[in-house]
Chains A and B, each alone.
Chain A
């Protein structure tokens, strides 16, 4: 289901249920859902690869800002 079709159906349902004030909140949720779907971390195989990179990078990028 696309986010656009989901959002339209959700807003129509909310209005039908007497909750028109949900519309801006559903629009905000739609933006969050778009971000979630575009995120690499929610796509499992890619996410696992990204984690492996992070593990290496997290160690390499550690730079002391204050000498011990």
Chain B
């Protein structure tokens, strides 16, 4: 599947039309959705109509910018006017959005074409996409495995060529984890940078809206469209020579699958050979991340769901209902302790970035796990799938730093691995420039031009 950049070049050269490419995406959905279950709702008629309109506008001289006519998929957690927002839950039965989420309105202005709404872990409260009222989404690289979550359908749709990019949400890693599991790019911007208005919340203090795409340049284009700034072009990548990256070894590299570790070390070696300076650093209280995250996300989610848990508990999937119920027992004093810990972690990540352009660490400690697995073997220990999948991404939801996941090669079994770059708060564009410079070296795949 072509990138958004390539689509734009060929569209404006009149080699392709939006209608043709949108139709190709719809054909892929028709062919593969039964196998991958990536979409909850396919918006074929409106997509064709909008694509045709995009072509007509361009022919008439109206160019809305890089997303003009681009087929996108949307996680079914964001409101699209006139369409149900299911959040992959029966709790939402009967809901139809009466207006667009702020980000959807921006994408509409940018000329994007919405091909459909993608599957997710119910209410975005999980990392595997297994607990969905519509059944699990599946990984295009191996349908017996999870695509990651919670934006699993979004990642699967891009990896399978059903859309050129997708919009997801990330509360503990829900963009970066599925991007890593499916071998694509996933961007979580800085906290508060992209509006969450019109998005079903999981935790209002941890939720982020961002993009899943085929390249850093594409993620940049979608990110700016989400901000309501659709005409920005991707910046030129900065030279790798002189870039300074910091690897937080302790905690972040303690528990890794052997092949994930090997791909990470190879990426570091390639970056070093390209002139990037890589230091080891330490984030002292990293071991406290999981309990701090748990107390905040459970409390926030329980507060939002309290009414539905009382009135329609049977409509939740069993696992998500129990996790939400658990949050109702957290004491206020422990929630406050977690908030205090969050501030400390934020300052520690700030400190780690004072002399570096970005942190460099794996995104996902394991390759995509088999659907149904509750534990995975890492070294000599059986680790909880949920805990190990969140381990390397949730810190930056707590701290609010922008983070991007990039593919870093494959395991011997053909499953993607990924590394993560983390930038300074409020400097998502600077992080994207670093990521553009590092992308080819991290992937290990040389491209022409």
Contact = CB atoms under 8 A, between A and B. Distances in A.
Interface stretch (B203-211, B272-280, B420-428): B272-280
A42 B340 contact: yes
A36 B341 contact: yes
A43 B330 CA distance: 18
Interface stretch (B45-53, B84-92, B100-108, B286-294): B286-294
B340 A43 contact: yes
Interface residues of A, number: 40
B347 interface: yes
Mostly, the B contact residues are helix
Contacts, number: 138
Given A39-B285, A42-B341, A47-B344, A64 B290 contact: no
A58 B281 contact: yes
Size class of B's contact patch? Answer: 35 or more
A42 B285 CA distance: 10
Contact of A57 (B282, B292, B298): B282
A37 B330 CA distance: 13
A37 B285 CA distance: 13
A54 B343 CA distance: 13
Contacts of A43: 337, 340
Contacts of B242: 68
Interface string B353-366: 01100000000000
A53 B284 contact: yes
Interface in B312-364: 322-323, 325-326, 329-331, 333-334, 337-338, 340-341, 343-345, 347-348, 351-352, 354-355
Given A1-B331, A43-B340, A65 B288 contact: no
B279 A29 contact: no
Interface of A: 1, 6, 10, 13-14, 19, 21-22, 25-26, 29, 32-33, 35-37, 39-44, 47-48, 50-51, 53-55, 57-59, 61-68
9 contacts: A29-B326, A32-B290, A33-B295, A37-B337, A40-B285, A43-B340, A51-B344, A58-B351, A65-B268
Given A33-B330, A35-B288, A36-B338, 9 more contacts: A25-B323, A29-B330, A33-B331, A35-B290, A36-B288, A36-B292, A39-B288, A51-B348, A61-B282
